[in-house]
Homo-oligomer: A and B are copies of this chain.
């Protein structure tokens, strides 16, 4: 029955060392799995750690080693399942690398984002993965870089000089429009909402591109409410234009789900006399009726990519900036059909 009562009764490396009859330095080497220590010594130290119930004090280590084994993750909003999945991907890779995630929520506000980054710095994170708030100026990220804080942008990108992991939104949009076009649709609307940021602009660009190159009107862009609950009620907006669309591409699946319900309320049959295509391919796409055709963006994978970019940068800070842009995949289900009514051509 070991007899240890120091005043504060916390087991330190020094206690372990004493018990194993080695110096504190040797014990430290054992923890860090250095190849320098002899096999027999290592075993003795490990035994001592077990016996004493030693807990590594990361805080002390970080102070000396200037390495915290900690990664900051800043997202605009946790309530959105999309970011939650991103976070999940990040967490799994960071965890596997033996580090932990410090989480922060910017609320998509540049001002809060400033505060949050400051806090990250104070906590001494080794690097940060950030989905920049919509109104972030490029100088912001460059300032971080000047701090010497390794940074990775996820989903949205502000600066080209900083690593980025995302999705080829524009190509995804082209794919969506292409699918509708192949079903005979020519008058296609684009339903959007939310703040303006790179991921927003790329989608717009992809949509207009695809429409324009086919000689279709690329300007049928409709803004729907940001509040999920109000989207179904806004379906009528689709038909207030002179040129009534026969199909709609949605900025994301929240809009798609909402409009699908709204169109149903208006008496239209989605997939039969009106076509609708979503973006993100959330789980619900498969369990609503009609099943939602959607462009998959797989945020978990993006998170994994972002985390890997950061880990690479940590091990070599001089790496040139890289971007990992994932391809989308169109998941065809039931919400799109050939153009309805008497054929126009």
Contacts and interface: CB of A to CB of B under 8 A. Distances in A.
Given A59-B59, A59-B63, A287 B105 contact: no
Interface residues of A, number: 52
Interface in A51-92: 55-60, 62-63, 68-70, 73, 77-79, 81, 83-85, 87-88, 91-92
A253 to B, nearest CB: 10
5 contacts: A59-B62, A78-B88, A84-B84, A91-B105, A264-B289
Nearest to A123: B58
Contact of A123 (B85, B100, B257): B100
Contacts of A300: 79
Interface in A164-211: none
A58 B55 CA distance: 20
Nearest to A92: B105
Contacts of A261: 287-289
A14 interface: no
Interface stretch (A130-138, A212-220, A227-235): A227-235
B124 A59 contact: yes
B100 A101 contact: no
Nearest to A259: B287
Contacts of A79: 84-85, 88, 300
A314 interface: no
Contacts of A258: 287
Contact of A58 (B92, B124, B231): B124
Contacts of A283: 228-229, 254
A72 to B, nearest CB: 9
Contact of A104 (B58, B69, B81, B95): B95
